[in-house]
Amino acid sequence: MSTPGAYFRLVRIGWVLAREGVFSAIPSEHLPPSARLAQKLVSLLARRKARFEERSGRLARAVERLGPSYVKIGQFLATRPDVVGAEIAADLSLLQDRMETFPHHAAKAAIEDSLGRSVEALFVEFSEPLAAASIAQVHHAIVMRDGRRERVAVKVIRPGVRQRFAADIEAMYLVSRMQERFLAYTRRLKPVEVTRTLEQTTKIEMDLRLEAAALSELAENTKEDSGFRVPRVDWERTGRDVVTMEWIDGIKMSDIAGLKAAGYDLDRLAETLIQSLLRHTLRDGFFHADMHQGNLFVDEAGHIVAVDMGIVGRLGKKERRFLAEILYGFITRDYQRVADVHFEAGYVPSHHDAASFAQAIRAIGEPIHGQPAETISMAKLLTLLFEVTELFDMQTRPELVMLQKTMVVVEGVARTLNPRFNMWRASEPVVGKWIRDNLGPKRVVSDLRDGLHAALRVAEAVPEIAARTERFSNDIMAMSEKGLRFDAATAEAIGKAEARHTRSGRVALWVIAAALVYIAWRLV
């Protein structure tokens, strides 16, 4: 059940959106007459200045007015064009995660509460905040390590952000439940589940120890890779509310002029960026899901350094094979294979016709083969693919949508470095190697090895399974011979409850108790 506070926040959201002219910017040609009338009435509430702004500017301004929690929600929804639509996702991607900094003393208090030591004992120097985002802000600091002064970046959680987010997410749940109830065609997108994913990912992002762990994992995965790295984590000065890491002296990848002036090979940087993302995705199944230009630097050695790993994505072996096979199918124009992969993975319901689905896939692939390689967008291909699968009731795959969104962003960065960058030529060494290693004879060996491991785990569990089966059988026999029996505490509790209720209430309690006992037996 939603609390009155959730309805109040929903009204506030509507008011801010109306004042910023967001509702009036929605195309009205497909709206029913009643909705068009409501849109005209609500548009009267818009500020005069807002009526003349670009539509994307209106939405971004409204979300920023709502506060840090909603900026984070907007950034998450920008990664889900399958849920909010491509246009709204593009508008939300313009959100600037730059907030007012919070006081220096509040940051010091958060660090000391999290680490149990004073800031003076942890750092030789600790600066005023350099920049603040919706969840945290960053400080520059100096630590002593092996008798040397070392520069570090200290990221500190925003005070009270967890409490505000917990209250704001309740309004999101209310919206998603209303969406599922009144907009039947959106149930395929699972809006409540999307909100639950948002809640979970943001809770993870608000525990800075987990961001540190993500940095550590990616560093371990890429230690043998050339041209890409992440900052080193200072675990001694890292806790739930603070993460300390290596200070990166480098040029942001958004500074094209600066990169050129420093003599970096922009084509090589673009190639390294794309290959790194594909390598992390296909080889490791773990990737940085927020690789926009503001989070990417080039250090003195020419390495791309990715920071801010609050958002990460994971793909299992099944999803990695799915991704590689559909890319390979498009490259070889084997559209039937692309269709078959969707059905084999269970992503498209079996009642649909595979040949018809292959025809829809061909409609995507053939126009691409008629274009120059440097104009073909892998991210656009995946976007079109997800649009077509909607016609065939493909269930939303959040991990694949997150990857598709990440590819859009990374591809955009690469094309900024080189507008004629050939995505397919750069991707071939990574995708080709993975396909040879995982979709050829080596796949059979890998599957056999995985199957053997699974069989061994089952064999190890056989004694416990047998013991549980025997106990369950004995319980069933005892129940058939003696009926249901409760321990003294359970019987007393049921008796007291029975005395407080009417006859219908007593029957209900016994039914519930019997169901609980049955469930307990099933779990034993």
Distance in angstroms (rounded) separating the CA atoms of residues 305 and 450? 34
Widest pairwise Cα distance in the chain: 87
Residue 275 lies in a domain: yes
DSSP state letter for 95: -
pLDDT for the residue 198 = 79
Residue 15 lies in a domain: yes
Structural domain span for residue 429:
251-439
Residues 403-430 as b/e (b if ≥16 CB within 10 A, e otherwise) read bbbbbbbbbebbbebbeebbbbebbeeb
Residue 26 lies in a domain: yes
pTM, to two decimals: 0.71
Q: Which of 78, 53, 74, 137 is nearest to 103 (CA)?
A: 137
Distance in angstroms (rounded) separating the CA atoms of residues 13 and 25? 16
Domain identity same for 177 and 275 = no
Query: pLDDT (tens digit, 9 = 90+) per residue, 135-159?
Result: 899 999 999 998 899 999 999 999 9
Distance in angstroms (rounded) separating the CA atoms of residues 402 and 404? 5
Instruction: Look up residue 398 and give its amino acid.
Output: P
pLDDT for the residue 504 = 44
Domain identity same for 366 and 262 = yes
pLDDT for the residue 508 = 46
* pLDDT-flagged residues of the chain (< 50): 501-509, 511-513, 515-524
pLDDT for the residue 515 = 47
Query: pLDDT (tens digit, 9 = 90+) per residue, 334-369?
Result: 888 888 888 888 878 888 888 888 898 888 888 776
pLDDT for the residue 521 = 46
Residue 260 lies in a domain: yes
Residue 235 lies in a domain: no
Domain identity same for 264 and 182 = no
Domain identity same for 291 and 435 = yes
pLDDT for the residue 369 = 67
Q: Which of 402, 412, 357 is nearest to 80 (CA)?
A: 402
Domain identity same for 267 and 354 = yes
The answer to whether residues 236 and 246 touch, using CB atoms and an 8 Å cutoff, is no
Query: pLDDT (tens digit, 9 = 90+) per residue, 193-212?
Result: 878 887 887 888 889 999 99
What φ, ψ does residue 384 adopt, rounded to 5°? -65, -40
Domain identity same for 524 and 383 = no
Domain identity same for 277 and 194 = no
Residue 470 lies in a domain: no
Residue 81 lies in a domain: yes
**Tokens matching residue 324:** 């590689």
Number of domains in the chain: 3
pLDDT for the residue 498 = 54
Query: pLDDT (tens digit, 9 = 90+) per residue, 90-137?
Result: 777 767 667 788 999 999 999 999 999 999 999 999 999 998 888 899
Q: Kindly give, in sequence order, each residue whose CB lies less than 8 Å from that of residue 64, ignoring residues fewer than 6 positions away.
A: 70, 71, 95, 96
Distance in angstroms (rounded) separating the CA atoms of residues 356 and 419? 36
Q: 389 in helix, strand or coil?
A: helix
Q: Which of 244, 299, 36 is nearest to 122 (CA)?
A: 244
Residue 451 lies in a domain: no
Domain identity same for 197 and 260 = no
The answer to whether residues 69 and 52 touch, using CB atoms and an 8 Å cutoff, is no
Concerning whether 334 is annotated as a catalytic residue, the answer is: no
The answer to whether residues 413 and 92 touch, using CB atoms and an 8 Å cutoff, is no
Domain identity same for 399 and 320 = yes
The answer to whether residues 24 and 16 touch, using CB atoms and an 8 Å cutoff, is no
Domain identity same for 417 and 500 = no
Domain identity same for 397 and 490 = no
Distance in angstroms (rounded) separating the CA atoms of residues 396 and 131? 35
Domain identity same for 388 and 491 = no
Distance in angstroms (rounded) separating the CA atoms of residues 97 and 63? 11
pLDDT for the residue 51 = 62
Distance in angstroms (rounded) separating the CA atoms of residues 328 and 74? 34
Q: To which residue do tokens 């962003």 refer?
A: 409
Kindly name the residue from 168, 241, 290, 308 that is annotated as catalytic: 290
* Domain boundary residue, one of 203, 218, 233: 203
